[in-house]
Amino acid sequence: MQKPSLLAIATALLVSSCASRYTSSPPDDGATPNPDALLQSMSTRLASTKQYRFTAHRTIPADQAKAQNQDPTAHVEVVVARPDKLAVKISEGKANREMIFDGSTFVVVDGANNFYSKAPLRGSLDKVPVHLAQVYGFQPPLAEFIISDPYRDLKHRVTGVSYLGKGTVRESGGVVQCHRIGMHGTHADAELWLGVADSLPRRLKATKTGSAGRDLLLDVDFLTWDLNHKVGASAFRHQPAAGATEIPMVTLDEANKPRR
């Protein structure tokens, strides 16, 4: 019998570990919390924090990952400094990517191939996800938790919200009680776990609408939150690595032009 690879074993252990962090329960017989108010509380908490850092484990379907030239799983680290600074590190196996925004330029770094691309982009963090999606066809990961009004962004993309009950998440040092909020859309349904005490996200799982939660689109396991994170301006400045090559950031219009 062929022995499983170390990568397969590690992946299985990681998936098992993430799944076992969570325990859910249905709503009790008491007063049901208002899910809309819970989303607003989360949004207010993040919007009022000038600098923060969070880390997460992200999982997407294998076919989607292949189409987007990504790994199905990734570790993501995000540092936000309002109003206009962002630093993201994405680790996918041996590949490492970075996204850096300093208020005037957005840079994408491919650490595996020592490439980088940059594009002019002036404005606040609120402008970044929409502009990048419309012009270049991509967004920073977990952009919903970067902008200054996550509530408005989430509500704009769903047809309704509901309260699903409570749950617990095992974190280092203890257990976090969470509210579970259902967000329902035309093409996708999502479940967002928010800490009862701090209103911070602990899990976001999205599935295709009508699949009864079986067809996974996205599963995010939020690992850490630091709302007192302080870094200097240099953290949001890109310094090319030795021998790095700059390549153009291709727009959607350029990519869709017929080849001659």
What does the pLDDT look like over 35-59, one tens digit per residue? 999 999 999 999 999 999 999 999 9
Q: What is the pLDDT of residue 260?
A: 65
Q: What is the pLDDT of residue 41?
A: 97
The torsion of the CA quartet 135, 137, 140, 143, rounded to 10 degrees, works out to 90
Letter string b/e over residues 12-32, b meaning 16 or more CB atoms within 10 A of that residue's CB: eeeeeebeebbeeeeeeeeee
In SS3 terms, 139-173 reads as CCCCHHHCCCCHHHHHHHCCCEEEEEEEEEEEECC
Matching residue, tokens 């600098």:
51
Domains identified in the chain and CATH numbers: 33-254 (2.50.20.10)
How far is Cα 205 from Cα 214, in angstroms, rounded to an integer? 11
- pLDDT < 50: residue spans in the chain: 1-18
Matching residue, tokens 């509901």:
162
Q: What is the pLDDT of residue 57?
A: 96
Q: What is the pLDDT of residue 212?
A: 73
Q: What is the pLDDT of residue 16?
A: 39
